[in-house]
Structure 1
Amino acid sequence: MGPETTTRKRSARAEAKRELIVGCAMRHFAAEGLQGARIEDMAIELGIAKGSIFQHYGSKAGLFLACYKHAVAALPTWLDAPVEIQAVGFFAVVRYWLDRTEHYIEEDRIPYRVVLIGNYSTDLELRRDINRWLVSEDPYGTLEFVEWGQRRGEVRTDVDLETIVSLVDWLSGAIQDALVTEELDPGLFHRWRNQPERQRMRVDHFGVLLQSAIGTVGAVTQSSGG
């Protein structure tokens, strides 16, 4: 066995160990939050030394950042919407993903909770690292999505592209997070519990506001009926 083969095997083992650590950590962060999750508990569950986790990720913040990236990668991009939805247009795709709130709850509960924690429950330094990664990597494919909408003639081209991308990311993320948070943490939104018509109205109003901000005159309007 040559040195290159040995190195590759060690690298593969290290990567497999990192994947196990992240998977375990995501469950703990999702259940306990950033502050409540304990590295000691993760190490016990994995049957490894606590120092081994720090060896791979440096700190609890470094581990959470890795979990955040992994969680975002598990969520769909804008243009993962079905072809028939894309055929209707840009704002139909936006509406489609907003209407998929239950999917995030039922199928992607752990990654979405990790994303919510990263977005709203981190200190300034960690949040800065998250923002820097989001801007550099564009994991949701928002730039490609906006350019696609512009090519279709539905999204304005007289406004700076990066400004539109930031607007779509921030506004859609905020409304979607609010919708999902109502299910994950209903105590935060007790006034609107069990009011699906209220949720639909909020999505409708968001669509109107977003389209009025970045849509062209000829863009297809998406009503509550889809």
Structure 2
Amino acid sequence: MSDARGTFTNLPEDKRARVLDAALEEFADHGFQGASMNRLATRLSIAKGSIFQYFGSKEGLFAYTFGRAVDLFKAPLKAARERARDGGFFEVLRQSLLTGMEFIASYPRIHRIYLKMLHNEDFPLREQVLGQVRAASAKYFRPLVLEGIERGELRPDLDPDLAVYVLHTLLDRFLQSLAAAPLDGGLGIFGAPRDVVERRAGELVEFLRRGFSA
């Protein structure tokens, strides 16, 4: 992923936050292809050339902005894992689903960008950015699966690679269902109150328990 240049990292923290917030808004509203550096510069009241000095290109700005968003998601997931670890593998999984729900409620623009990229847009960085998401997911889930097998919670013949794939797919589609009605697929969580979402998350985890458990 792209790193910001020194001209950006040397800015005061509040100015860096303002640039990234405006970039999130631009990409969330218009997607990558429709995002305008002229419009972004006007919103920030800076010269367009400054943006290119900071990131090199629109691709560089997107890569940096979305990379920071992925990092932002890692912290609450890690906290959920540590908080629920004593409850075992399936409680960690349930808490991970609920943490994802809370994250997109707090940062809806980040998830809107992800959905645009996933379903609507093709651009040079697409595979690179999606690869980063998949790698972060695997890094999160693989240790949980291996620990679950070692503790005897999960079947000893469980294929860790397939398990990680299923868990990533579950979390990803669960969050998509929360944000987009056509992707709900009959789960009934789009626009649903929290208690319904929590109940359905528990049911999904119980469904996996019957297939994964020792």
Both proteins in one fold, TM over 0.5? yes
In the alignment, structure 1 residue 59 sits paired with structure 2 residue 66: no
In the alignment, structure 1 residue 15 sits paired with structure 2 residue 12: no
Q: Which residue of 1 aligns with 2:121?
A: 122
2:85/2:91 contact within 8 Å kept: yes
Deviations 1:63-118 (A, max 9, x none): 22222111111114544216552211111111123234652244233333333334
Alpha carbons of 1:194 and 1:123: their partners in 2 closer, same or farther (altered >3 Å)? closer
Give the RMSD, CA atoms, in angstroms: 3.5
Partner AA of 2:206 in structure 1: V
Query: After superposition, where does 1:71-86 map in structure 2 within 5 Å?
Result: 71-75=69-73, 76=75, 78-81=77-80, 83-86=82-85
Cα distance in 2 for residues equivalent to 1:102 and 1:135:
18
Alpha carbons of 1:188 and 1:173: their partners in 2 closer, same or farther (altered >3 Å)? closer
Cα distance in 1 for residues equivalent to 2:76 and 2:99:
13
Cα distance in 2 for residues equivalent to 1:105 and 1:14:
27
> How many residues are aligned here?
202
Cα distance in 1 for residues equivalent to 2:60 and 2:149:
37
Partner AA of 1:24 in structure 2: A
Instruction: List gaps (5 residues or longer) in structure 2.
Output: none
Instruction: List gaps (5 residues or longer) in structure 1.
Output: 1-9, 218-226
TM-score normalised by L of structure 1 = 0.69
Query: After superposition, where does 1:1-226 map in structure 2 within 5 Å?
Result: 11=6, 13-17=7-11, 19-20=16-17, 21-75=19-73, 76=75, 78-81=77-80, 83-100=82-99, 103-123=102-122, 125-136=124-135, 138=137, 141-179=140-178, 181-182=179-180, 192=188, 195-196=192-193, 199=197, 202-213=200-211, 215-217=212-214
Q: Look up the SS of the partner of 1:81 in the other structure.
A: helix
Q: Look up the SS of the partner of 2:27 in the other structure.
A: helix
Q: CA shift at 1:205, angstroms?
A: 4.2
Q: CA shift at 1:25, angstroms?
A: 0.5
Partner AA of 1:130 in structure 2: V
Cα distance in 2 for residues equivalent to 1:83 and 1:49:
44
Q: CA shift at 1:128, angstroms?
A: 1.0
Mean CA deviation greater in 191-200 or 78-87: 191-200
